[in-house]
Amino acid sequence: MSALPPVLDRLDRDLDKSLERLFKLLRIKSISTDPAYAEECRKAAEWLVADLKTIGFEASVRDTPGHPMVVAHHDGPTPGARHVLFYGHYDVQPVDPLELWEDDPFDPAVKEREGMKVITGRGSSDDKGQLMLFVEACRAWKAEHGSLPCRITLLFEGEEESGSPSLKPFLDANKDELKAEFALVCDTDMWNPETPSICTSLRGLVGEEVTIKAANRDLHSGMYGGPAANPVRILAKILAAIHDDEARVTIPGFYDGVEETPSQVLQAWEKLGETAESFLGPIGLSQPAGEKGRSVLEMVWARPTAEFNGIYGGYTGKGFKTVIAAEASAKVSFRLVHKQNPEKIRAAFREFVEKRIPADCSVEFHPHGGSPAIQLSYDSPFLAKAKDALTDEWGSPAVMLGGGGSIPVVGDFRTYLGMESLLVGFALSDDRIHSPNEKYDLRSFHKGQRSWARILAALAN
């Protein structure tokens, strides 16, 4: 452990330099979901490779049918050293609606917000900021000791925000190169700004885009209103039928594989003190909209959902147009828990919709990603080490949480590489990821680097 203090000191000293590097990465508009930004995604990958080479990684941009991967390798201090894979993603969410941003989403800065120094910009938290924590920990370690404490493989993805279409084939094709003893993933939250956290479960995700087609063209609602099928009306009826009055999903078979959470786990979550008021208050809401009789933490960590992420049809511009649209679409996603099977859910949803399409209308589906939920094994030999390292850095005990969002890579690591993942993240719930005005606390950026340095030291032993 004597190797650690100078590394931590260096991270303290070099904080401004690490910020400059992060800003360079944040300025690259690597929005993966919009094809218009494909070149920016590649630019981000190339920037990372160049940076990793300066630390001594053998790093390369690896093409995929979509946006490229970054893969990098560094030997451990000895031939038999512990081998870990660190995963992050360099792509970011779209920034619309742009008019709601207080700062340019791609011109990062450190600003004072509610008494805290924060890094502003799209990706500052999700996931460029978190990804760079580990890179900076490696850089400091290398600078101080000329080596890293573990053998390290890095995998940075560029399609995490658009369903990771290339990830599975890439893992499958590069098993031997990527397999390590276990994976470290930095894409999650702390419980609160004082409490470091390890995430032990994550919901899965199935995305579907559904388009209902009625007449062969847009119609004048005066000339055709009444007799002509209106796809917006059909779509609204279908979406409205997906939840019952208790907010349960009505799609047949939807709850297959969902387990009741053990009461001791529910009790531990209860102790965290989260209430409907504390959870919903900051976002301006007060009434839990999920299944009746469940706590908000259970809703997010252990219950599946059906969400409508987007809907559009007919005239959506300013003013009014008395039109009956030829088609209407919705983007629908399902958060999955436990043993729910993504492809069975997808099929059940499609059948549910198809049954409700009038005989003279039609429906088209477009899949967007699919991944099962994951549950970290409590027996992992590395969990305790990471927990201790985090507790040392933050001065308060690390807690084990569930996660509501999906990190498909964790399931894919299990499936393709036979690896479990340790999910440690330093984001905060008010980071506004996926929203306008995304930020990352400067404190997370600083102590996150130190945390990874400590975890690497602990894992080396």
* Window 30-49: residues binding its own copies (CB under 8 A): 32-35
Query: Rounded CA gap, 93 and 160, in Å?
Result: 9
**Interacting residue with its own copies among 175, 321, 339, 355 (CB under 8 A):** 321
Establish if 278 lies at the interface with its own copies (CB under 8 A).
no
Query: Tokens standing for 459?
Result: 């894992």
Q: Which of 271, 283, 278 is nearest to 400 (CA)?
A: 271
**Interacting residue with its own copies among 1, 173, 283, 384 (CB under 8 A):** 283
In the complex with its own copies, the residue whose CB is nearer, 291 or 388, is 291
**Interacting residue with its own copies among 1, 173, 223, 347 (CB under 8 A):** 223
CB 124 → its own copies: shortest distance, Å? 15
**Scanning residues 44 to 83, which ones bind its own copies (CB under 8 A)?**
none
In the complex with its own copies, the residue whose CB is nearer, 1 or 100, is 100
In the complex with its own copies, the residue whose CB is nearer, 147 or 221, is 221
Establish if 100 lies at the interface with its own copies (CB under 8 A).
yes
**Scanning residues 159 to 178, which ones bind its own copies (CB under 8 A)?**
161-163
**Interacting residue with its own copies among 48, 235, 376, 410 (CB under 8 A):** 235
**Scanning residues 327 to 366, which ones bind its own copies (CB under 8 A)?**
328-331, 333, 335, 358-361
In the complex with its own copies, the residue whose CB is nearer, 23 or 224, is 224
**Interacting residue with its own copies among 17, 145, 175, 237 (CB under 8 A):** 237
CB 318 → its own copies: shortest distance, Å? 6
**Interacting residue with its own copies among 75, 192, 224, 272 (CB under 8 A):** 224
DSSP label of 179: -
Q: CB of 414 within 8 A of CB of 171? A: no
Sheet of 439-441, strands arranged across: 110-113, 116-120, 439-441
* Beta carbons within 8 Å of 393's beta carbon, 6+ residues apart: 196, 447, 450, 451, 454
Q: Would you call 347 helix, strand, or coil by DSSP? A: helix
Q: Which residue has the tokens 């609160």?
A: 192
316-329 burial: b if 16+ Cβ within 10 Å, else e: eeeeeeebbbbbbb
Count of positions on this chain that bind its own copies (CB under 8 A)? 101
In the complex with its own copies, the residue whose CB is nearer, 238 or 417, is 238
Considering only 20-28, 45-53, 308-316, 390-398, which stretch makes contact with its own copies by CB under 8 A? 308-316
**Interacting residue with its own copies among 5, 252, 310, 381 (CB under 8 A):** 310
Q: CB of 107 within 8 A of CB of 62? A: no
Query: Tokens standing for 318?
Result: 């300013």
**Scanning residues 101 to 160, which ones bind its own copies (CB under 8 A)?**
none
Query: Rounded CA gap, 430 and 426, in Å?
Result: 12
Establish if 254 lies at the interface with its own copies (CB under 8 A).
no
Establish if 241 lies at the interface with its own copies (CB under 8 A).
yes
Establish if 433 lies at the interface with its own copies (CB under 8 A).
yes
CB 201 → its own copies: shortest distance, Å? 12
C-alpha distance from residue 158 to each of 39, 61, 139, 268, 439 (Å): 11, 11, 22, 36, 20
If one counts every other C-beta atom within 10 angstroms of the C-beta of residue 396, the result is 13
* Beta carbons within 8 Å of 21's beta carbon, 6+ residues apart: 51, 132, 136
- The CA-to-CA distance between both ends of the chain, in Å, stands at 9
Q: Which residue has the tokens 């933490």?
A: 297
Query: Rounded CA gap, 86 and 139, in Å?
Result: 14
Establish if 265 lies at the interface with its own copies (CB under 8 A).
no
Establish if 378 lies at the interface with its own copies (CB under 8 A).
no
**Scanning residues 391 to 410, which ones bind its own copies (CB under 8 A)?**
403-406
